[in-house]
Amino acid sequence: MSKHHKYRAVFVLFIGLFILFTLMATAGTAQETKTAYTRDDINFISKERVDENIRYEYAKPGDYREVQVPLDTIVVGASAILQNISTSKEKEETAPEEKSPSSSNQTAPSASEDKYPYAPLFIGLLAIGGLVFFVASVFSRRDRQ
């Protein structure tokens, strides 16, 4: 085996190990969860909604069990049951004031981040794959000369 082939074998081994360790590191972080409550393992609700259901006798204590679900799972929050009419009028008056052009612009990036949570991971893997392809093409040109 020539000196050139030894360097190429070491370099390919290094790139392979780098990709393997990168995949292992990102696989551990992809399993983030949040707490929810369920009766049937299909529909998930928040702790506030469980308390509401018990308070209004839609459910009994012990009907729901606590589970860990992935971050992208839809969890139904507490409802907006109003205690009296005056509270609802106050909320209606303050609602138009809360909406401003700057607040709607600030919420748009977070919605796209929630929609594609693994995008940075795949972009990184694509960049690594491109680097490996480039290095392999350089080595293949050297062998032809």
User: Three-state DSSP class for 32?
Assistant: coil
Q: Are residues 59 and 88 in the same domain?
A: yes
Q: Are residues 76 and 39 in the same domain?
A: yes
Residue 42 dihedral angles phi and psi, to the nearest 5°:
-115, -45
Q: Are residues 70 and 126 in the same domain?
A: no
What is the pLDDT at residue 28?
57
Q: Are residues 82 and 56 in the same domain?
A: yes
Long-range contacts of 111-119 (CB under 8 A, 24+ apart): 114/72, 117/71, 117/72, 118/30
Q: Are residues 7 and 54 in the same domain?
A: no
What's the CA gap between 58 and 44, in Å, rounded? Answer: 15
User: Three-state DSSP class for 68?
Assistant: strand
What is the pLDDT at residue 14?
83
Q: Are residues 43 and 75 in the same domain?
A: yes
pLDDT tens for residues 68-96? 998 888 898 877 665 554 445 555 555 55
Alpha helices in 30-100 (DSSP H): 47-55, 85-98
Q: Which domain holds residue 140?
A: 1-30+118-145
> Which comes out higher in pLDDT, residue 121 or 101?
121
CB 119 within 8 A of CB 28: no
What is the pLDDT at residue 44?
93
What's the CA gap between 39 and 64, in Å, rounded? Answer: 5
pLDDT tens for residues 104-125? 444 444 445 567 777 788 888 8
Q: Are residues 40 and 78 in the same domain?
A: yes
Quickly tell me which residue has 């995008």 as its tokens.
119
pLDDT tens for residues 14-63? 888 888 877 776 665 556 889 999 999 999 999 999 999 999 989 999 99
What's the CA gap between 26 and 121, in Å, rounded? Answer: 7
Domain tally, the chain: 2
What is the pLDDT at residue 24?
72
Q: Is position 104 within any domain?
A: no
Q: Are residues 59 and 9 in the same domain?
A: no
Q: Is position 101 within any domain?
A: no
Per 3-state DSSP, what percentage of the chain is helix, strand, and coil (rounded to 5)?
65, 10, 30
What is the pLDDT at residue 124?
86
Q: Are residues 91 and 77 in the same domain?
A: yes
Q: Are residues 132 and 89 in the same domain?
A: no
Angle of helix 119-144 relative to helix 3-29, nearest 10 degrees?
A: 170
Q: Are residues 92 and 50 in the same domain?
A: yes
Q: Is position 103 within any domain?
A: no
